[in-house]
């Protein structure tokens, strides 16, 4: 049985008791549905991560235009919920 409380913690959500019940029911139904894949033998099948066939696309070691645009930097910071000067403000991480 799926431990919704644990999963919610891993996913960094708060969860009320009522929500826990609801999600438990819904997620179990979906997991039952996707279990259908077990009908297929995939022993010698390679997994597909993406379909274009491109492998390790490397770029030159240079900043793109967006990183160089001062206005964009400012606009990015404008969206920050908490900031100080040119920095994002975060709660203390180390005690």
Partner 1 sequence: MRLNELTIAQAARGLKRKELSSVELTQTVFEQIKKRDLKVKAFLSLDEKGALSSAKEIDEKRAHEDILGGLAGIPVAIKDNILVRGLKCSAASKILENYVAPYDATVISKLKEAGAVIIGKTNMDEFAMGSSTENSAFFATKNPYDLQRVPGGSSGGSAAAVAANETIYALGSDTGGSIRQPASFCGVVGLKPTYGAVSRFGLMAMASSLDQIGPITKTVGDCQTVFDAINGKDKLDSTSVDLKKEIRNTKFEIKNLRIGMPKEYFAQGLDEHVDKLVKEAIKKLENLGARVKEINLPYSEYALACYYIIMPSEVSANLARYDGIKYGYSEFDKAGDLMEVYLGSRHHGFGAEPRRRIMLGTYTLSAGYYDAYYLKAQKVRTLIEQDFEKAFKEVDVIMTPVSPTPAFKFGEKIDDPLKMYLSDIYTVSINLAGVPALSMPCGRVGGLPVGLQIVGPQMGEPLIFGTALALEQNS
Q: Using alpha carbons only, how large is the chain's radius of gyration in Å?
A: 22
The two structure tokens encoding residue 31: 């997991």
Pick from 8, 1, 35, 4: which is nearest to 22 by CA?
A: 4
| Smallest gap from residue 73 Cβ to partner 1 (A) | 8
How many Å apart are CA 2 and CA 32, to the nearest integer?
11
Does 81 participate in binding partner 1 (rule CB under 8 A)?
Answer: yes
Does 68 participate in binding partner 1 (rule CB under 8 A)?
Answer: no
Binding positions for partner 1, rule: CB under 8 A:
2, 4, 7-8, 10-15, 23, 26-27, 29-31, 33-40, 42, 45-52, 54, 57, 59, 64, 66, 69, 72, 75-76, 78-82, 88-93
């Amino acid at each position: 049985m799926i431990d919704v409380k644990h999963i919610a913690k891993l996913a960094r959500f708060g969860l009320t008791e009522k929500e826990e019940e609801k999600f438990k029911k819904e997620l179990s139904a979906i997991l039952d549905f996707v279990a259908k894949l077990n009908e297929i033998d995939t022993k010698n099948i390679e997994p597909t991560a993406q379909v274009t066939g491109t492998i390790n696309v490397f770029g030159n070691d240079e900043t793109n235009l967006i990183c160089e645009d001062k206005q964009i930097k400012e606009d990015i910071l404008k969206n920050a919920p908490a900031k100080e000067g040119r920095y994002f403000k975060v709660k203390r991480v180390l005690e």
